[in-house]
Chains A and B, each alone.
Chain A
Amino acid sequence: EVQLVESGGGLVQPGGSLRLSCAASGFTFRNYDMHWVRHITGIGLEWVSSIDTSGDSFYSGSVKGRFTISRENAKNSLYLQMNNLRAGDTAIYYCARDSGIYLGRASDIWGQGTMVNVSS
């Protein structure tokens, strides 16, 4: 079964750090670009970051310089290091698989999400 499972969320104070993980199974992880997307209550879905198969990374303006995406193909794992967290980063964070250019570069597989709550 194709599956993504996130972990690492929790409650953190403003200015703190968290590292999210996403474990992939059921497909050849190294062949796919991957994304982090968050759902902010009252706002909706927001793309956060992507990493392609070559390891090149991309970020939204709101997290650039604070978040770092990485992948470890040998462990079929995706990561998001989040530093200097703000209240506005409070959200459910999802990892998602990119379907590829021939299928619209859509996010076709999603994890169940992990909650990040930034509060004092």
Chain B
Amino acid sequence: DIQMTQSPSSLSASVGDSVTITCRASQTISDYLNWYQQTPGKAPKLLIYAASSLQSGVPSRFSGSGSGTDFTLTISSLQPEDFATYSCQQTYNTPRTFGQGTKVEIK
């Protein structure tokens, strides 16, 4: 199975800050990497697919990059509604493993 490792596991930031979350795969996954946002009590929401493509309706302050084994999610100018948990998922093969999640908290 492909292991997905996210870092950091949590971070504190202020409204307006820019934050970057990284996700590393245990083997190459090309660009089969997606990012999700989840807030308590709600279903995950797709933000970025295929490593760098913005899902329809997602604000442009979210961006993704990377290929192979190393990927990043960047949120420029954090907004109050962005405080949530972010998870990466590889869809290169089955099982479609997720990272452990990164909780973005208000400083």
Are A104 and B31 interface neighbours, CB within 8 A? yes
Task: Please measure, in the bound complex, the distance between the C-alpha atom of A37 and the C-alpha atom of B99, giving whole angstroms.
Answer: 13
Q: Mark B67-102, 1 if CB is under 8 A from A, else 0.
A: 000000000000000000101010100111111110
Count A-B contacts at CB 8 Å.
Answer: 72
Q: How many residues of A contact B (CB 8 A)?
A: 25
**Interface flag for A94 (CB, 8 Å):** yes
Q: Determine the interface band of chain B, counting residues with CB < 8 A from chain A.
A: 20 to 34
Which residues of chain B in 1-26 are interfacial with respect to chain A, using CB atoms and an 8 Å cutoff?
1
B interface majority secondary structure:
loop
Given A104-B31, A105-B91: A50 and B96 interface contact (C-beta under 8 Å): yes
A-contacting residues of B (Cβ < 8 Å)?
1, 31-34, 36, 38, 43-46, 49-51, 53, 55, 85, 87, 89, 91, 94-101
